[in-house]
Amino acid sequence: MTLPKSNSLTFQELILKLQAFYAARGAVIQQPYDVEVGAGTMAPETFLRVLGPNPYKVAYVQPSRRPADGRYGENPNRLFKHLQLQVILKPPPENVQELYLESLAAIGIDLRQHDIKFEEDNWESPTLGAWGIGWQVMLDGLEVTQFTYFQQCGGVDLDPISAELTYGLERLCAFLQDVDSIYDIVWARDPDTGREVKYGEVRLADEQQFSVYNFEAADVASAWKHFELCEAECRKLIDRYASLDRDLGKHDPGKDKDDDKEKSEGDAGAGARENSRFPLLGAYDLCLKCSHYFNILDARGAISVTERVGVIARVRALAVGVAKAWMDQQYGQQYKDRQSPVASGGDEPAGKNRPREKKGKLAPVG
Amino acid sequence: MPDLLLEIGCEEIPARLIDAASRELREKLTALLQRERLEPAGAISHFDTPRRLAVLAVGVPSSQPDLTERVNGPSAQIAYKDGQPTPAAHAFAKKVGVDVGNLEKVNTPKGDYLAATVTRKGRTVAEILAELLPKEISSLYWPKNMYWRKRGELFVRPVRWLVAMLDDQVVPLELFGIPAGSKSRGHRIMSGGKAVVISQPSAYVEALRDAKVLGAAEREQVIRKALDAATRTIPGARWREDKPLVATVVNLTEFPSAILGSFDPEFLELPEEVLVTVMRDHQKYFAIEDVHGKLLPHFLAVLNTAADSDGLIRHGNERVLRARFNDARFFWQTDQKQTLRQRVELLRNVTFQKDLGSYYDKTMRVQRLASWLAEIVKQSGMAVRPGVVHKAALLAKTDLTTELVKEFTELQGIVGGLYARVQQLDEDLKSDVQLEVSRAIYDHYKPESMEDGAPATVEGALLSIADKADSIAGMFALGLIPSGSKDPFALRRQANGMVKTIAEHKLPFRLSEIMADARARYQGSEAEKKFSNAAYSKAVRSFFRERLEFYLKDAPQHRYAYDVVNAVLAVDSDDVVDAAARAEAVSKVRGSADFESISSAFKRMKNILRQASEKNNLVAMRVDPAGLREESEKALAALIPETVATVEKRRVARDYEGALLEIAKLRPAIDQFFDRVMVMVDDDHLRANRLALLQTVVKEFSTIADFSEIVTEGKDSTK
Confidence class for position B502, pLDDT limits 50, 70, 90: very high
**Chain A residues inside the 8 Å CB shell of B148:** 92, 149, 161
Region label for A10, one of left (φ > 0), alpha (ψ between -120 and 50) or beta (otherwise): beta
Q: What is the pLDDT of residue A66?
A: 96
pLDDT score of A62 more than 60: yes
**Residues contacting B418, CB < 8 A, separation 6+:** B271, B273, B274, B438, B442
Condensed to tens digits (0 to 9), the pLDDT of residues A68-104 reads 999 999 989 899 999 999 999 999 999 999 999 999 9
β-strand pairing of A142-153 with A130-139: antiparallel
Cα-based angle B496, B497, B500 (whole degrees, multiple of 5): 85
The pLDDT score that the predictor gives to residue A8 is 87
List the domains of chain B with CATH numbers. 4-63+124-210 (no CATH), 67-120 (no CATH), 216-335 (no CATH), 343-533 (1.10.3210.10), 581-709 (1.10.730)
pLDDT score of B486 more than 90: no
- The answer to whether domain A8-217 and domain A220-338 are alike in fold is no
CB A18 within 8 A of CB A106: yes
Could you give the dihedral angle defined by the CA atoms of residues A263, A267, A269 and A275, in that order, rounded to the nearest 10 degrees? -170
Rounded to 5°, angle at Cα A362 from A357 and A366: 95
Note the pLDDT of residue A6. Answer: 54
A273-281: average pLDDT:
88
DSSP states of B171-215 as a string? P--EETTEE-BSEEE--TTTTTT-EEE-SSGGGHHHHHHHTT---
Q: Hey, is the C-beta of B78 within 8 angstroms of any chain A C-beta?
A: no
Q: What is the pLDDT of residues B588-644, one digit of tens each?
A: 988 888 888 888 889 999 999 999 889 888 888 888 888 888 888 888 998 999 999
Contact (CB, 8 A) for B216 and B194: no
pLDDT band at A267 (very low <50, low <70, confident <90, very high): low
Specify the pairing of strand B4-10 against strand B159-166: antiparallel
Is the pLDDT assigned to residue A265 strictly greater than 80? no
Give B677 or B14, the one with higher predicted confidence: B14
A178: chain B residues, CB-CB within 8 Å: 315, 319
Asked if A333 and A275 count as a contact pair (C-beta separation under 8 A), the reply is: no
pLDDT bracket for residue A257 (50, 70, 90): very low
B57: part of which helix (H) or strand (E)? strand B52-57
pLDDT value for B98: 84
Q: Tell me the nearest-neighbour CA distance from B172 into chain A, angstroms.
A: 21
Three-state SS string over B258-318 comes to: EEEEECCHHHHHCCHHHHHHHHHHHHCEEEEECCCCCEEEEEEEEECCCCCCCCHHHHHHH
Assign B620 to helix, strand or coil.
coil
- Of 3.20.20.70, 3.30.930.10, 1.10.357.140, 3.30.70.1150, the CATH number of A8-217 is 3.30.930.10
| Separation in Å, CA of B490 to nearest CA in chain A | 7
Nearest to B355 by CA among B479, B251, B269, B458: B479
Between chains, do A159 and B158 touch, taking CB under 8 Å as contact? no
Task: Please provide the DSSP assignment of B402-461 as one string.
Answer: SHHHHH-GGGTTHHHHHHHHHS---TT--HHHHHHHHHHHHHTT--SSSSSPPPSSHHHH
pLDDT at A5 over 60: no
Average pLDDT for B648-671: 91
pLDDT at A255 over 60: no
Over range B496-506, report the average pLDDT: 96
Task: Give per-residue pLDDT as tens, B137-159.
Answer: 999 999 899 999 988 899 999 99
Residue A347: its pLDDT value, please? 37
Decide if A322 contacts A242 (C-beta within 8 A): no
Average pLDDT score over chain B: 92
Contact with chain A for residue B492, Cβ under 8 A: no
Round to whole Å and give the CA distance between A112 and B306.
Answer: 10
Separation between Cα atoms, residue A246 and residue A238, nearest integer Å: 13
Short-list A186, A121, A120, A127, CA closest to A154: A127
Superfamily of the domain at A220-338: Class II aaRS and biotin synthetases; domain 2 (1.20.58.180)
Least confident of A256-265, A338-347, A350-359, B649-658: A350-359
**Residues of chain A numbered 121-180 and touching chain B (CB < 8 Å):** 122, 133, 135, 139-142, 149, 151, 157-161, 175, 178, 180
pLDDT single digits (tens) B514-564:
999 999 999 988 888 888 867 899 999 999 999 999 999 988 888 899 999
Q: Is there a contact between B490 and A351 if contact means CB atoms under 8 Å apart?
A: yes
Question: Which among B543, B571, B391 is positioned nearest to B468, based on CA atoms?
Answer: B543
Q: Is the pLDDT of residue A365 over 80?
A: no
User: In B344-410, which residue ranges form alpha helices assigned H by DSSP?
Assistant: 359-379, 386-395, 403-407
Please, is A290 exposed, middle or buried when counting C-beta atoms within 10 Å of its C-beta (0-12, 13-18, 19+)? buried
The reply to whether A366 touches chain B by the CB within 8 Å rule is: yes
pLDDT given for residue A198 in this prediction: 98
User: Helices B593-614 and B684-700 sit at what angle, rounded to 10 degrees?
Assistant: 130
Whether A261 shows a pLDDT value over 80: the answer reads no
| Among candidates B144, B317, B485 on the partner chain, residue whose Cβ is nearest the Cβ of A133 | B144
SS3 B233: coil
Task: Verify cis geometry, omega within 30 degrees of 0, for the bond prior to A91.
Answer: yes
Reduce the DSSP state of residue B681 to 3 states and report it. Answer: coil
Distance of CA A163 to the CA centre of its chain: 13
Check whether A338 has a pLDDT greater than 80.
no
Facing A92 at nearest CB: one of B148, B151, B312: B148
Q: Is B319 on the interface with A (CB under 8 A)?
A: yes
Percent of chain B topping pLDDT 90: 68
Taking 60 as the threshold, does the pLDDT of residue B9 lie above it?
A: yes
Residue A201 has pLDDT above 80, yes or no: yes
Residues 303..342 of A with a Cβ closer than 8 Å to B: which? 304-306, 309
Query: What are the boundaries of each domain within chain A?
Result: 8-217, 220-338
**B668 at the A interface (CB within 8 A)?**
no
Q: Are A154 and A78 in contact (CB under 8 A)?
A: no
Lowest mean pLDDT among A13-17, A133-137, B657-661: B657-661
- One-letter amino acid for residue A166 of the chain: T
Burial (CB < 10 A; 0-12, 13-18, 19+), residue A308, is middle
Exposed (0-12), middle (13-18) or buried (19+): which is B108, by Cβ within 10 Å?
exposed
What is the overall mean pLDDT for chain A?
86
Give B13's DSSP letter.
P
Residues B189, A351: C-beta atoms closer than 8 Å: no
Query: Is 70 exceeded by the pLDDT of residue B435?
Result: yes
Bridge partners, B146 (sequence order): B155
Q: What percent of chain B has pLDDT over 70?
A: 99
Surface-to-core class of residue B21, CB atoms within 10 Å of its CB (0-12 exposed, 13-18 middle, 19+ buried): buried
Q: What is the pLDDT of residues A165-200, one digit of tens each?
A: 999 999 999 999 999 999 999 999 999 999 999 999
- Pairing between β-strand B257-262 and β-strand A142-153 as defined by DSSP bridges: unpaired
Q: Flag if B147 and A149 touch (Cβ within 8 Å).
A: yes
